């Protein structure tokens, strides 16, 4: 199927969006898996998915088996979840590891730092070493990882620049939010199922053009003209609002981040950090969304809300947290029909990727340009 990207990087007034094949073609999807997701910093889990030392969470990113571990020094490490002996999956289910990670096949045992600790019977029954096998050279394959705004990012192919370098401009733009975050069990997280390609969820999130139509209730508190576009070549795009209003419960509002600049008192920003993480920041809470692609036309959207202060996760804030949770859940659910509708639209073979509104669609055009560059590189 055609993947002519020549029009994608034209100036927005002349450009077309990504061709249909980037949403419905299996070959393109497989190539994008490598060049968009594996070659870059993709979000795969939340920091609190492995809350206690020894917690080990297996997951996969489009088939690539990952093992996320919190070690006994409280650091998060990510490994390829594959034994160095016969390639068995090491950990099948989330668990807490008290000592070593023992492969369930022949029991080669690994320390949480990835080193190979024991190789039982490797030299014959009761002989646990062999001159031809050096344990030191058989560590678990470490996958580069970085935790930012509660999300664990990985660079599977080990080819990306360091996370802080790739994302320096967002990290400095939002440096005031790079602080401890607080989240509790109830009313903090939810998951949505999207029958669409993951990129459509990115594209929809980063533009504000649809707000008055898809989220009319938002337009009451934050009008379209209160929004501005955010575009950073090759890293992220999104939208900001000058009119964030805190929700309140009988005058009670969530506690703010400390030492925020004045502009954040009424400002909020929503940014898609390429490839697959969506973030929103406000004076009193942030949310992080991980888009987990399952197939070319199915995506899981995992959402977690984090608060700025430990006080906001106290019991007396539970009503407010419930309201905030229901608010975001309903806003993000309102987007489901459009991302799924756009997916169906990609089967219209005369669709040419679409023409952009030069005034409103900059963030989407920016993302498409990034995709096209990665794809053609």
Q: How far is the CB of 205 from another protein (least distance, A)?
A: 43
Per-residue interface string for the shown chain with ligand FES, residues 37-76, x marking contact by CB under 6 A:
----------------------------------------
By CB under 6 A, tell whether 129 contacts ligand FES: no
CB under 8 A, 24+ apart: contacts of 81-88: 82/140, 82/141, 83/108, 84/108, 84/116, 84/138, 84/139, 84/140, 85/119
By CB under 6 A, tell whether 138 contacts ligand FES: no
The three-state secondary structure class of 353 is coil
CB under 8 A, 24+ apart: contacts of 63-69: 64/38, 64/156, 65/89, 66/143, 66/154, 66/156, 67/91, 67/101, 67/140, 68/44, 68/145, 68/152, 69/97, 69/101, 69/112
By CB under 6 A, tell whether 106 contacts ligand FES: yes
Tokens describing residue 274: 């390429």
Nearer to another protein, 13 or 134 (CB): 134
Per CB under 6 A, which region of 46-54, 79-87, 161-169, 350-358 contacts ligand FES? Answer: 79-87
Nearer to another protein, 112 or 286 (CB): 112
Q: Could you say which of 88, 147, 214, 260 contacts ligand FES (CB under 6 A)?
A: 88
Per CB under 5 A, which region of 73-81, 93-101, 183-191, 332-340 contacts Fe ion? Answer: 332-340
**Contacts of 296 by beta carbon, 8 Å cutoff, 6+ apart:** 23, 24, 25, 26, 29, 197
Q: How far is the CB of 81 from ligand FES (least distance, A)?
A: 11
By CB under 6 A, tell whether 86 contacts ligand FES: yes
Interatomic CA distance for residues 376 and 169, integer angstroms: 24
Cα 10 to the center of its chain, rounded Å:
28
Interatomic CA distance for residues 318 and 326, integer angstroms: 12
Q: How far is the CB of 109 from ligand FES (least distance, A)?
A: 9
By CB under 6 A, tell whether 79 contacts ligand FES: no
Tokens describing residue 285: 């809470």
Q: How far is the CB of 86 from ligand FES (least distance, A)?
A: 4
Q: How far is the CB of 214 from Fe ion (least distance, A)?
A: 5
Return the percent helix, strand and coil in the chain, to nearest 5.
30, 30, 45
103 binds, among ligand FES, another protein, Fe ion, none (CB under 5 to 8 A by kind): ligand FES
Number of residues in contact with Fe ion under rule CB under 5 A:
1
Q: Could you say which of 105, 127, 337, 347 contacts ligand FES (CB under 6 A)?
A: 105
Q: What stretch of H or E contains 155? A: strand 151-155
Tokens describing residue 205: 């999130």
CB 247 within 8 A of CB 285: no
Nearer to ligand FES, 139 or 210 (CB): 139
Q: How far is the CB of 88 from ligand FES (least distance, A)?
A: 4
CB 113 within 8 A of CB 77: yes
Positions that interact with another protein (CB under 8 A): 98-100, 102, 107, 109, 117-118, 120-121, 125-129
Q: Could you say which of 5, 103, 289, 313 contacts ligand FES (CB under 6 A)?
A: 103
Nearer to another protein, 134 or 169 (CB): 134
By CB under 5 A, tell whether 335 contacts Fe ion: yes
Tokens describing residue 290: 């991980």
Binding residues for ligand FES (CB under 6 A) = 83, 85-86, 88, 103, 105-108
Binding residues for Fe ion (CB under 5 A) = 335
């Amino acid at each position: 199927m055609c993947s002519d990207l020549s029009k994608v990087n034209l100036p927005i007034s002349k450009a077309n969006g990504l061709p249909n094949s980037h949403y419905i073609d299996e070959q393109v999807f497989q190539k994008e898996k490598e060049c968009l997701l594996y070659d870059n910093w993709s979000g795969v889990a939340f920091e609190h998915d492995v809350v206690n030392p020894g917690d080990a969470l297996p997951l996969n990113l489009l088939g690539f088996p990952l093992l996320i571990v919190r070690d006994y020094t409280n650091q998060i490490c990510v490994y390829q979840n594959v034994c160095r002996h016969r390639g068995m999956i090491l950990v099948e289910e989330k668990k807490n590891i008290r000592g070593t990670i023992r492969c369930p096949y022949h029991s080669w045992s690994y320390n949480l730092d990835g080193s190979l600790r024991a190789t039982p019977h490797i030299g014959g029954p009761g002989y646990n070493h062999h001159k031809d096998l050096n344990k030191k050279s058989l560590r678990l394959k470490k996958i580069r990882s970085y935790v930012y705004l509660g999300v664990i990012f990985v660079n599977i192919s080990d080819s990306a620049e360091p996370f802080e370098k790739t994302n320096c401009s967002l990290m400095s733009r939002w440096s005031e939010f790079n602080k401890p975050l607080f989240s509790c069990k109830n009313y903090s997280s939810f998951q949505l199922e999207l029958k669409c390609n993951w990129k459509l969820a990115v594209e929809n999130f980063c533009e504000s053009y649809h707000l008055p139509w898809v989220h009319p209730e938002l337009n009451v508190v934050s009008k379209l003209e209160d929004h501005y576009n955010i575009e950073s070549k090759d890293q992220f795009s999104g939208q900001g609002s000058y009119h964030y209003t805190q929700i309140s419960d009988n005058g009670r509002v969530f506690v703010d981040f400390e030492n925020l600049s004045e502009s954040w008192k009424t400002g909020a920003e929503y940014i898609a950090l390429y490839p697959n993480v969506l973030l929103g920041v406000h004076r009193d809470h942030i949310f992080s969304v991980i888009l987990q692609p399952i197939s070319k036309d199915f995506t899981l959207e995992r959402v977690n809300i984090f608060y700025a202060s430990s006080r906001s996760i106290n019991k007396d804030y539970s009503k407010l947290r419930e309201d905030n949770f229901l608010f975001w859940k309903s806003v993000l659910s309102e987007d489901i029909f459009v991302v799924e509708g756009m997916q169906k639209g990609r089967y219209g073979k005369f669709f040419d990727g679409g023409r952009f509104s030069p005034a409103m669609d900059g963030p989407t055009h920016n993302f498409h340009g990034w995709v096209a560059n990665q794809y053609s590189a």
